[in-house]
A and B are shown apart, each in its own frame.
Chain A
Amino acid sequence: MIGEIISNRFGTDAGGSCRVIIQSPRLRGSWRSKALKAGLALLMLLTMGFIALPVASLLLKNPLDTVVQTLHDPMVVDALRLSLSTSAFTTVTVVLLGTPLAYINAKFRYPGKEIADSLIDLPVIMPPAVAGIALLMAFGRMGILGHYLDGLGISIAFTTLAVIVAQIFVSSPFYIRQARTSFEDVDISMENAARTLGASRIYTFFHVILPIAFNGLVSGAIMAFARSLGEFGATIMFAGNFQRRTQTMPLAIYTAMQGDLDVALCLALILVIISFLVIVIVKTLTRRMYENVRN
């Protein structure tokens, strides 16, 4: 049968038999659905290969012993330490500042909420280079606010603080969005039950709402952490590039690309592994959260 179809497709046996195939609905259906399935499978393989190949190449082009050796390179050590500490600090700040905001946006209506929501999401869509120049214009030495800070002897640009400012700017939406959805998903009847049993608003928040939304909040925080770890464009423009002070992992990769490729590859590999871990953790947490909600 396949031979027949092929011969028909190539037009070597045009005419009668071809019409037979087209007229038979069962045959047509199975042929078409097989072709469709094969086509879709091919498309899927292509797409997945497109994503998997570069990631796999990082591993394949990177002999393990070189990676282990390069791990001790001061540039790698400094970048790793700086990236992890600034991202951790950023995450804590974002959680502390973002949680109340996310809760308010999830539970209350107020004038200008739409604008507030869009503003919060803006850094996700904003190109990093735009974020970098915007931060310079605001907090740079000649910036709108930075100008006054400079008068007080505080300067942000080219310091580790600038790295953190850039990270907070780009990563906060990732946490706030996720936290907001998590709060919205908390069944209002739970809250009402607690309140009718005499729990205060604050007690209800900490003992009812927060535990239910917890997994969602954690996965949001991890997303923000990951985004901070990957931040490049705004950092190189606003914080500059100096080992130990502002050279985070992505900046070190960019700099090392032009000198010591091994360092760049080693750091890239570390970032890939962290990204994988982030996805695994977030997926597990989200699944658990929905199981909790369902129960």
Chain B
Amino acid sequence: MEITYGSHKLLKGESLFMIEKCKILLIFVLFAAISTAFGADPEELTVFCGAGLTGALSEIGEIYENSSNVSVKFNFDGVPALRAQIEQGAYADILVSANLKHMNALMSEGFIDNSTVKVFARNKVAIIVPNDNPANITGLKDLAVPGVKILMGTKDLPAGDYALMVLDKLAMDPEYGPGYKEAVLANVVSQETTVNRIVSKVAMGEADAGFAFNSDVSPQMVGKVTRILIPDRYNVEGDFPVGVLSQSKYPQEARAFIEVLMSEKGQAVLDRYGFIPVAEK
């Protein structure tokens, strides 16, 4: 068929033909829209996942999709936000959390099928600084220097909660003391609601340092941020749990997803992202 524009006038038959075609197209589009809106979709797992796990869990989601004919839809956000959404009635099949606190709360409220909850990885707190390190931070003590701009999570965000635990441990040590904790907290310029926002703002160089996880120097962030390790005696090893929601329409598939997460392949992905894998027991 030839399509011409401008001065070419359509013949009467031709134009009627065009209108008919448009009608058919319109009906087709409407039908498609309605069927996507109301149609029973094929099996799809809805996974609510802590934002810091975005990279690793996306990869594991692909592994799962390839091994089954179920697709996975993620909702990545700060775990407290995900918890609030679930408590307000949002639908999810699986919750992947960055600490036990929120998982336990949802378990006691009856939102989680308690028999499915497993710790799938562990993680440690890390201090991240922009690669050019404008405030010249090389150790923990540098964080207490007045004027250093530090980002932290809110106290409800796992990353913020763990960071406070580390600061408490440091405050107990006479080498640092309670004054150290206060000085660091006085340098906090923002309490972010996802750990990703801490990492990206540090990567942009807007802040001098941020409290995040070992796993946050993900493959995408290498070359943008540098990690400053916290000695083990001050660090905390956080448990990252996963669980199936009681309301899940696909509990079998959800359990299969957790199996992939715990499998050798899944654990290898987590290891690559800097999580501490848990050995299958």
CB within 8 Å of B: which residues of A?
136, 140-142, 157-159, 236, 239-243, 245-246, 254-255, 257-259, 261
- In the complex, how many angstroms separate the beta carbon of A130 from the nearest chain B beta carbon? 15
Question: Does A258 contact B206, Cβ atoms closer than 8 Å?
Answer: no
Q: How far is the CA of A242 from the CA of B151 in the complex (A)?
A: 10
Q: Are A259 and B80 in contact (CB under 8 A)?
A: yes
Tell me if B209 is interfacial: C-beta within 8 Å of chain A. no
Q: Which residues of B contact A240 (CB under 8 A)?
A: 151, 189-192, 201
Q: Is the CB of A136 within 8 A of B206?
A: yes
Cβ B149 vs Cβ A158 within 8 A: yes
Q: How many A-B residue pairs have CB under 8 A?
A: 58
* B126 close to A (CB within 8 Å): no
Per a CB cutoff under 8 Å, which of B157, B188, B193, B204 touches A254?
A: B193
Closest 9 CB pairs of A and B: A240-B190, A258-B80, A158-B189, A142-B205, A259-B156, A242-B190, A258-B156, A140-B206, A157-B206
- Among the listed B78, B151, B204, B205, which residue makes an inter-chain contact with A258, where contact means beta carbons less than 8 Å apart? B78
CB contact between A241 and one of B83, B192, B207 (< 8 Å): that residue: B192
Within 8 A of A (CB), among B69-118: 78, 80-81, 83-84
B154 within 8 A of A: yes
Q: Are A258 and B189 in contact (CB under 8 A)?
A: no
How far, in angstroms, from A200 to B184 measured CA to CA in the complex? 60
> What chain B residues lie within 8 Å of A255 (beta carbons)?
154, 191, 193
Shortest Cβ distance from residue A245 to the other chain B in the assembled complex, whole angstroms: 8
Contacts of A136 on B, CB cut-off 8 Å? 204, 206
- Bound Cα distance from A240 to B201, whole angstroms: 10
Interface residues on chain B, number (Cβ under 8 Å): 23
A142 in contact with B204 (CB, 8 Å): yes
| Docked-complex contact B83 and A246, CB < 8 angstroms | no
Q: Nearest Cβ distance between residue B95 and chain A, in whole angstroms?
A: 14
Q: In angstroms, how far is the closest chain B Cβ from the Cβ of A36?
A: 24
> Would you call A158 and B206 a contact (CB within 8 A)?
yes
- A24 to B167: give the CA distance in the assembly, Å: 86
Partner of B191, one of A140, A159, A242: A242
A141-B206, A255-B191 known; A241 vs B154 contact (CB < 8 Å): yes
With A136-B206, A258-B193 known, 4 other A-B pairs at CB within 8 A are: A136-B204, A255-B193, A258-B78, A258-B84
User: A127–B80 Cα gap in the complex (Å)?
Assistant: 25
**How distant is the Cα of A259 from the Cα of B102 in the complex, in angstroms?**
11
User: Given that A258-B80, A258-B83 are contacting pairs, would A241 and B193 also be in contact in the complex, using a CB cutoff of 8 Å?
Assistant: yes
Inside 8 A of B207's CB, which chain A residues have their CB?
158
Quote the shortest CB–CB distance from A107 to chain B (angstroms): 42
Assembly CA distance A243 to B237 (angstroms): 28
Which chain B positions have C-beta within 8 A of A239? 190
* CB interface residues, B 127-182, toward A, < 8 Å: 134, 149, 151, 154-157
Rounded to whole angstroms, the CA-CA distance of A239 and B157 in the bound complex is: 19
Closest chain-A Cβ to B117's Cβ sits at a distance in Å of 21
Contact code string B182-226 (vs A, CB < 8 Å = 1, else 0): 000000111111000000010011110000000000000000000
Complex Cα gap A136–B190 (Å): 15
Nearest-neighbour CB distance to chain A for B99, whole angstroms, equals 13
5 contacts between A and B (CB under 8 A): A136-B206, A142-B205, A255-B154, A257-B81, A259-B154
Distance to closest chain A CB from B143 (angstroms):
16
- Which residues in B have their C-beta under 8 angstroms from that of A142? 204-206
Chain B residues lying within 8 Å of A245, measured Cβ to Cβ, are: 189
Smallest Cβ-Cβ distance to A150: which chain B residue: B134
